[in-house]
Structure 1
Amino acid sequence: MEPREQSEIEIAPGEVAARLARGDVPFLIDVREEWELTRGILPGARSVPMSQFANRLDELDVSQPIIVYCEHGVRSYDVAAYLVSRGYSALSMSGGFAVWDGPVVPFAAAD
């Protein structure tokens, strides 16, 4: 099966890793549900589950590009499209956490 072509609102995991390595740190948003975070999150990412996203838009840092990810890139694509339709600069990490081979940190739930 041929890999699908990347959309204009998607970014490859390798490009996300390259940005992080060179200090070009975007506002990373993990839209997986909290129960999905047992394997960790990307360094510096904020957990904003998709089920809560619309009610937490005030937490977004609009001064920097937003990169959204989930487990496989489907939910994050929907969230990125939602953000772009509202004027935000947002991208979805294609393939999601499942294909990420960069650094991961443990998720610490807020008290």
Structure 2
Amino acid sequence: MSIKKETSQLVFIDNENQQRRDYKRFPADYKDAPDKKLTPEQLNLLGKIKELEEKSELWEKTKEKATKMLWWEDVVEGLAKQSQQTEQSDTETEKDKTSAPQLSKPKLYQHLPL
């Protein structure tokens, strides 16, 4: 990894850590009147936090929808497989009913033990 890339990553991590420290310094009751109780930097950070929360919520909803779609796909495949097996067994049952019974050939000679 190049020094320039490492330095930019360290700066990003340092900024992220600074934002966490700033967030921890929010007044306990800032949600009542954030415009009055937060500094402009904290308001900017609050906007970023809300944006990330919205993205996270959207991701959770999308993930839930995808999970449900995959579940329904499994259900449909299972029902199709079950239906196919039922149709095959019904066909075999019909063949057994319509075919003539298989009789064994009579034994003409019987071998007796010596």
Q: TM-score, normalised by structure 1?
A: 0.22
Answer 1 or 2: which has greater strand percent.
Answer: 1
Q: TM-score, normalised by structure 2?
A: 0.21
Answer 1 or 2: which has greater helix percent.
Answer: 2
Looking at both structures, which has the greater relative contact order when contacts are Cα pairs under 8 Å and sequence separation is at least 6?
A: 1
